[in-house]
């Protein structure tokens, strides 16, 4: 058989013998196969054998869909459409099921084949296995996602290790933890690591709106549903279709509204306000709360059936005071972030500042720490952030703490390091160390150090 690829008008085409085609195609790393006008496979190269698991003798002579089969048979459709519409398909992504039953992502392009008379005699498909590319991309996505979550705490690291598996599932997730502990970061990470990452990601704070407005935000409304409804407005369940919806502070949701939410979770159905039409949504639900939902259930403020529906997978974020080892890491992370935004060249954090921050209880958690670092950067006009640059209440609370006593050698080393950084300036060293200049002088005298 001789085949001739179609070419734009005015361009030269060449007749190529099928046997020579086979030799050429077997040298190509991409899978290549050809079909006749009835979609019967006429050519199948070595790379196609390697990717699909079918030998050439098993594939040639069979209808294309018998080899390129699966839940989605876009590869077959691409060739069929190329023959029917005479329009090539270029770089189309598809999922293919191999002979052994494994799903692999492929990218396929097609072209028409013509005989020496110029008549269409079939189509050619070129495809490649994208498994390795997608694996590398997923690893890069994971690194990018986890770059935003700074921790060395064992509990937090266990959570991060579980996130990829949680993200790949379609189940509802409940994230519990105190305000400012990073629940939104975890929810965003789940979305970014999931198959829905190219879909919308929408957040709704259930505590920020009164019940009637919250309902209209969730389900939308039709024109005329109430006095100010001048036009149709889609709700977030409609906007989040195909993506992820974070319902933040879900414990604040009214019980009547919880019933409607339960229906969406169970059936994927809802009705906009003022409408008699039922709408469908395919949004993955992530709920978060800073409140103990079991207590809210016992107080009859939260429905138990809704709790068990959203609590398929539960993630509990520890407070910052439960992971003090993260404070220095977070300080440096926030400092670099704030310096980039404020175009500051350089600013270091004194050891005394680290000491004060690790003693503080941080009722506002990570968010309060970020604010404290930004406050310190704003107040610091030099190149070293000192205790005097921190919010006063943080410094005052740390003064009431009872740290372990420092031995003389450790204290001497700490003081001499501070003096060295400030080139012997006692006032600046004392300020960094959080002590009066006279106290510094007295301690140096006690160490027998020459002033």
Helix residue spans in 236-325 (DSSP H): 236-239, 255-267, 293-298, 304-310
Cα(176)–Cα(262) distance, rounded to whole angstroms? 19
Mean pLDDT is lowest, of 69-73, 127-131, 221-225, 252-256, for 69-73
Identify the CA nearest to 250 among candidates 176, 167, 317: 176
DSSP 275: -
Torsions phi, psi for 126 (to 5 deg): -120, 125
Decide: residue 238, CB within 10 A, 0-12 exposed, 13-18 middle, 19+ buried.
middle
pLDDT in tens, 177-204: 999 999 999 999 999 888 888 889 999 9
pLDDT in tens, 66-90: 887 644 444 446 777 788 888 888 8
Which of the two residues, 166 and 429, has the higher pLDDT score? Answer: 166
State whether the Cα torsion 356-359-364-365 is positive or negative: positive
Cα(114)–Cα(46) distance, rounded to whole angstroms? 23
Q: Identify the pLDDT of residue 18.
A: 60
Q: CA dist 284 to 187, 241, 253, 269, 317, Å?
A: 11, 8, 18, 13, 20
Domain ranges for the chain, please list them: 2-129, 135-318, 323-403, 405-451
Question: Is the Cβ–Cβ distance between 42 and 27 less than 8 Å?
Answer: no
* pLDDT band with cut points at 50, 70 and 90 for residue 265: very high
Q: Identify the pLDDT of residue 258.
A: 95
Cα(178)–Cα(216) distance, rounded to whole angstroms? 28
Q: Identify the pLDDT of residue 447.
A: 75
| pTM summary value | 0.62
Cα(143)–Cα(42) distance, rounded to whole angstroms? 44
Q: How many CB atoms lie within 10 A of CB 446?
A: 11
- Written out in words, the top-level CATH class of the domain with range 405-451 is mainly alpha
* pLDDT band with cut points at 50, 70 and 90 for residue 450: low
135-318 belongs to which homologous superfamily?
A: P-loop containing nucleotide triphosphate hydrolases (3.40.50.300)
* pLDDT band with cut points at 50, 70 and 90 for residue 17: low
2-129 to CATH, choices 3.40.50.300, 3.40.50.12280, 3.30.450.20, 3.40.50.970: 3.30.450.20
Decide: residue 62, CB within 10 A, 0-12 exposed, 13-18 middle, 19+ buried.
middle
Note the CATH architecture for domain 323-403: Orthogonal Bundle (1.10)
424 by DSSP, 3-state: which? coil
């Amino acid at each position: 058989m001789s085949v001739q690829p179609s070419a734009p008008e005015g361009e030269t085409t060449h007749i190529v013998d099928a046997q020579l085609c086979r030799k050429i195609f077997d040298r190509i790393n991409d899978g290549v196969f050809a079909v006749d006008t009835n979609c019967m496979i006429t050519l199948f190269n070595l790379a196609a054998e390697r990717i699909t698991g079918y030998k050439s003798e098993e594939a040639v002579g069979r209808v294309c869909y018998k080899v390129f089969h699966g839940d989605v048979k876009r590869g077959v459709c691409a060739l069929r459409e190329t023959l029917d519409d005479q329009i090539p398909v270029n770089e189309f992504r598809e999922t293919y099921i191999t002979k052994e039953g494994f799903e692999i992502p492929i990218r396929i392009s097609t072209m028409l084949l013509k005989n020496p008379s110029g008549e269409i005699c079939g189509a050619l498909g070129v495809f490649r296995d994208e498994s390795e590319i997608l694996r590398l991309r997923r690893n890069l996505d994971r690194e990018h996602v986890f770059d935003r979550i700074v921790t060395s705490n064992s509990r937090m690291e266990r959570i991060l290790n579980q996130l990829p598996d949680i993200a790949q599932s379609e189940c509802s997730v409940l994230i519990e933890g105190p305000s400012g502990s990073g629940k939104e970061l975890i929810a965003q990470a789940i979305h970014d690591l999931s198959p829905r990452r190219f879909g919308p990601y929408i957040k709704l704070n259930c505590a920020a709106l009164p019940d009637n407005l919250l309902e209209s935000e969730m389900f939308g409304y039709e024109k005329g549903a109430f006095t100010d409804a001048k036009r149709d407005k889609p709700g977030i369940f409609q906007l989040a279709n195909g993506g992820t919806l974070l319902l933040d502070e879900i414990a604040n949701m009214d019980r009547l509204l919880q019933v409607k939410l339960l229906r969406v979770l169970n059936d994927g159905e809802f009705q906009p306000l003022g409408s008699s039409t039922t709408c469908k949504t395919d949004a993955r639900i992530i709920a978060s709360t800073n409140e103990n939902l079991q207590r809210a259930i016992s107080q009859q403020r939260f429905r138990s059936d809704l709790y068990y529906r959203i609590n398929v997978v539960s993630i509990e974020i520890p407070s910052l005071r439960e992971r003090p080892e993260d404070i220095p890491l977070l300080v440096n992370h926030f400092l670099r972030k704030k310096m980039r935004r404020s175009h500051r060249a350089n600013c270091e954090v004194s050891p005394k500042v680290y000491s004060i921050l690790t003693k503080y209880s941080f009722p506002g958690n990570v968010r309060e720490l970020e604010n404290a670092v930004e406050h310190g950067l704003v107040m610091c006009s030099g190149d070293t952030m000192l205790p005097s640059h921190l919010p006063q209440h943080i410094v005052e609370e740390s003064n009431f703490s009872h740290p372990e006593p420092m031995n003389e050698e450790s204290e001497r080393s700490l003081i001499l390091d501070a003096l060295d950084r400030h080139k012997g300036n006692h006032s600046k060293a004392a300020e960094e160390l959080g002590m009066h200049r006279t106290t510094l002088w007295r301690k140096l005298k006690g160490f027998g150090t020459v002033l």
